[in-house]
Amino acid sequence: MTCVREGEVRAYLDDELPLATHEEIARHLSQCAACRARLEGIERTATHIRQRLAATLPVIEPNAQWGLARIRAQVQQDIVRPNIFRRLSMGNRNRVWRPILAGVVVLALLVGAFSFAPTRAFARQLLSVFRVRRFAVIEVNPNEASLEEVGRTLQEKLFKYEPQVIVDEPVQEVTSIEEARAAAGFEVRLPSYLPFTDTVKFAVKGRTEYAFRFDREGLTTLLQLAGMDPDQVPAGFTEGTVNAAASAMAYICQGKLEIVQVLDPVVDYPEGIVPRVIGEAGLRILGVSAADARRISESIDWTNTLLLPVPTNVAEFREVSVAGEQGVLLVPRQAAGGEEGAVLLWRKGEVIYTIAGPVSVNVLLEVAESMF
């Protein structure tokens, strides 16, 4: 037998060779000093590494029950949060997107909230609530490496306070559309066309209200990161709270097709905040050029438009018409496991609708149309 290759020696050490090969190599080793020396070298290295890696073993056993409880809690929360962003970020394997997309959601809410024409002070009482009437999607092409750090900094400075739960009525599973309507207190829509054969499930959640707290440092950091003048945070501003609330939500699913209907989501804005500037900063952070960020932030009607920045490598989007309303269709580029899928988002009356599922765009639109 000729001398043994390195890979074979390594596999021999781990006893990972077929018996015949193993014995053949054992015989060769007994006759070949060079190969024996090689074996010893490889074994020494392996022993070192095993010892070193032992330092990284968990010190305490993880608590599986606790882990499971956390998952359940998360799933419960997701049921009531249109999980469009979760879907998008799950499809994308890069972990970086998780906190950023979460941040983007809050930012999008903020942008709307902060930008309430404060000049019209007389209308403040009336206008102090942001109602989503329109969606606007813009494509952004951020630099992931720098966003990673920006994301961390924003987590530390801008989103440093835990969102405070003001009202959080429990999720309730119900068995029929009638029960869902009764529990939700609004006309929950059931599509007459559903693509799968699975049983349809219903869940309903009552009022949900969260408060997000922001302070001067957070907003200053945001502007600095965006390369903007931090003095645009008004001199008197020290701290403010954004309240986001939804009166009721209904969740319908069939297999992996999920429909979320949210009644009248509103956002209260904090006083004394610069309008439009926050939006401009957010856009610049997401890779929009300074000139474009200014142009977009000035042209959007922030009083009723929810801006969804979609990274070009995460999803494609297009505007569609659903039941006579303008809606947005997002198609993740890297759907998990290469499976087909899309998310559709629109508003009609006082309700925001989201449908997401592993089906073609046409099927999704058909389901949406069949709801009215």
User: Is the Cβ of residue 48 or residue 333 nearer to another protein in the bound state?
Assistant: 48
Residue from 152, 193, 298, 316 binding another protein (CB under 8 A):
152
Task: Please pick, from the candidates 46, 165, 182, 290, the single residue that binds another protein as defined by CB under 8 A.
Answer: 46
Taking CB under 8 A as the binding criterion, the range among 87-95, 273-281, 292-300, 361-369 that sits at the site for another protein is 87-95
Quick one: 42 or 266, whose CB is closer to another protein? 42
Residue with tokens 């193993």: 22
The 3-state secondary structure of 66-119 reads: HHHHHHHHHHHHHHHCCCHHHHHHHHCCCCCHHHHHHHHHHHHHHHHHHCCCCC
Is 55 an interacting residue with respect to another protein (CB under 8 A)? Answer: yes
Instruction: Please report how close the Cβ of residue 256 comes to another protein at its closest, in angstroms.
Output: 8
Phi–psi pair at 193, nearest 5 degrees: -115, 125
Contact mark string toward another protein, 205..244, x via CB under 8 A? ----------------------------------------
Cβ-based nearer residue to another protein, 70 or 133: 70
Looking at 1, 3, 37, 68, which residue binds another protein (CB under 8 A)? 68
User: Which range of residues in 85-93, 154-162, 283-291, 303-311 is near another protein by CB under 8 A?
Assistant: 85-93
Phi, psi of 209 (to 5 degrees): -145, 130
**For residues 307-346, which are near another protein according to CB under 8 A?**
336-337, 339
Q: Are 250 and 189 in contact (CB under 8 A)?
A: no
CB 342 within 8 A of CB 100: no
The 3-state DSSP class for residue 130 equals strand
Region binding another protein by CB under 8 A among candidate stretches 27-35, 69-77, 261-269, 294-302: 69-77
Q: How many CB atoms lie within 10 A of CB 266?
A: 16
Establish if 133 lies at the interface with another protein (CB under 8 A): no
CB of 64 to another protein, least distance (A): 5
Nearest approach in angstroms of CB 16 to another protein is 4
Which residue's structure tokens are 């009531």?
80
Q: How far separated are the first and last CA of the chain, in Å rounded?
A: 77
15, 20, 119, 122: residue in contact with another protein (rule CB under 8 A): 15
Residue 117 touching another protein (CB under 8 A): no
Residue 5 binding another protein, by CB under 8 A: yes
Interface stretch with another protein, choices 41-49, 163-171, 300-308, 312-320 (CB under 8 A):
41-49
Surface-to-core class of residue 102, CB atoms within 10 Å of its CB (0-12 exposed, 13-18 middle, 19+ buried): middle
Question: What single-letter amino acid sits at 321?
Answer: S
Taking CB under 8 A as the criterion, the residue among 3, 23, 94, 120 binding another protein is 94
Q: How far is the CB of 50 from another protein (least distance, A)?
A: 6
Greatest alpha-carbon span in the chain: 97
Under the binding rule (CB under 8 A), the answer on residue 19 touching another protein is no
Q: Where are the alpha helices (DSSP H) in the chain?
A: 6-13, 19-31, 33-54, 64-80, 84-91, 97-114, 124-127, 144-157, 177-184, 216-225, 277-285, 290-299, 361-369
Beta carbons within 8 Å of 2's beta carbon, 6+ residues apart: none
Residues engaged in binding another protein (CB under 8 A)? 5-16, 42, 45-46, 48-50, 52-53, 55-58, 61-62, 64, 67-68, 70-71, 74-75, 86-87, 90-91, 93-96, 98, 148-149, 152, 198, 201, 253, 255, 336-337, 339
